[in-house]
Amino acid sequence: MVLRDENGGFIFDSAMLQKQANLPSEFLWPQEDLVQAQEELNEPLIDLGGFKRGDEVETARAAELLSKACSEHGFFQVTNHGIDATIIEAAHNEINTFFNMPLDKKLSLRKKPGSLNANGYSGAHAHRFSSKLPWKETYTLLHHENDPSNPNIIVDYCKSVMGEDFEHTGWICQRYCNALKKLGLLITELLAISLGVDRFHYRKFFEDCVSMMRCNYYPPCQNPGLTFGTGPHCDPNSLTILHQDQVGGLEVFSNNKWKAIRPEPGALVVNIGDTFMALCNGRYKSCLHRATVNRNLERKTIAFFLSPREDRVVRPPQELYSREEPRKYPDFTWPEFWEFSQKHYRSDVTTIDNFIKWKLSSKPSGTFSSIA
């Protein structure tokens, strides 16, 4: 049994669906996609403590580890990151506030089909797709810390859209995003060092960035081997910083194999997205990853996505391209790419390549070749 809205669209009722032995066809994935991970990824656990203290030896070591990981698969974890454990715990508690809402309340806060507004609830991304749905619910909040006209954008959104009772939730999420943005800017410095460019190049680029907080809830699933919590994809944004609980389920594609990620207590997961791959001229890989679901346990994560301000031109620093190593991607802006990923294409490992083909097909010939 599945629920449908007034337009015949699929409604993800997690309380009901997690009890069903047979999955609705909308959640079934092709057998070739369901190959299970047989080993764990040996990704680096990068200690940011020495880098934050200005220790040159520790900074060089962290940059070396980061460079190797980002060149191979675009994934690493960080410790001594400076995010207070109480802020993380409070944010995770607020996930329950979102996902424990009655179904009719969730549906009233759904993202609109075709809308580029990031805010709102999504049940299995059914507002965008009709097949190969992910077994999850999400709630996304747009964050603009440096917007003088609305410095507490998340608080205002929660109060005005969700109701006065959600003001506290808004403040917790606002504090979490402010803290994660500071960490994100710090990581961009280490990325710049590892690439051999000016330490503050990317920090300046992202100082007035656009960011999003996405809360993910993966309910138990009676047939976890037939579906995904999140299908294989690369993130279109620049950086993703994820806090996950200890249930596990995240997997990364490395050396032509899917490999599981062991949750590290106190660590935050970081992966490179498509936009940063363009910003470093392809030196670092956008991370191909997915999430499985569990038969008995629910899983919750909070993803923080760092992206450029709307009018910033995505272009690598000159040190990263030359006649011998020409530009791999033409100039573009984040809104162009975001719209493509939301309206024209389902994110996967080839999203940015297909975006470039789409972009160049709508431009006069020779645009790309003239940028090197």
* Residues identified as active-site: 299
Q: How far apart are the C-alpha atoms of 127 and 1, rounded to whole Å?
A: 19
Q: How far apart are the C-alpha atoms of 275 and 337, rounded to whole Å?
A: 8
Q: Helices then strands (H, E): number in the chain?
A: 11, 17
Angle between helices 85-99 and 167-195 (to 10 degrees): 130
Is 283 strand, coil or helix?
Answer: coil
Percentage helix, strand, coil for the chain under 3-state DSSP, each rounded to 5: 35, 20, 45
What is the CA 156 to chain-centroid distance, rounded? 23
DSSP letters along 238-280, please? SEEEEEE-SS--EEEEETTEEEE----TT-EEEEE-HHHHHHT
- Location of structure tokens 């996405």: 214
Residues 6+ apart with CB under 8 A from 369: none
Smallest CA-to-CA distance from 328 within 281, 290, 279 is with: 281
